[in-house]
Structure 1
Amino acid sequence: MSETKLTLDTFELYCDVVGNPTPEIQWWYAEINRVDSFKQLWDGARKRRVSINTAYGNNGVSVLGITRLTLEDSGTYECRASNDPRRNDLRQNPAITWIRAQATISVLQSEWSMSCST
């Protein structure tokens, strides 16, 4: 999925996962042309412009929202889900399988005009 937005816009991405046990959902971000350098996102990041709302039941549903977009918000956003109980064990080799879904968001400078009078 690819989407183009203007600065100061808002966007939301949805992630719905099913598994037994219900998978944990995480959101990750990589800058444009830097898909080898994903960083985890969290609720309240980027000066509280990032919101992550996740609910777990028979399935997991998560919504990532970013408000007041800036040019620096352009990039690849990834929803990752895993139900492996060892996924957060730092003593394990990083062989845990995460299911991933990606969306690329491009943010363009919005147009504006100013008029002056004397």
Structure 2
Amino acid sequence: MATTRFPRSIGFIQIAFVDARTDETLVLGGLGYVTSTELDSAWAEVPAFEGQSCFQADRLDASKELVCDRSISAEACEQLLGKPIATLIERGRARLRAQLHRPAGRLACA
């Protein structure tokens, strides 16, 4: 039986940017959590932004389905992900371009 070196995440916090220029949602980054206590604690520390914001934090379950979300500030994005917002957005755009232009792969048969 194969074993996994890393425990399976029970939930995630994902940070996203809704790009009004291109009408796309870019994932800027996120983290997975292995216990509900860790996830609940981390989510409680994500500061909600009152008002309009193009940035949001998404709380996802183990299947990466949306549980809830909240608007956050650009400063909160930088604090949570440890990078300048311009860098995060450019990396998000680059990841999306790579995903959209990835050639379809062949299915592997067992």
TM-score by length of 2: 0.34
Relative to its length, the structure with more helix (as a share) is 2
Bigger Rg over Cα = 1
Tell me: higher relative CO, structure 1 or 2? Use CA pairs within 8 A at least 6 residues apart.
1
Relative to its length, the structure with more strand (as a share) is 1
TM-score by length of 1: 0.32
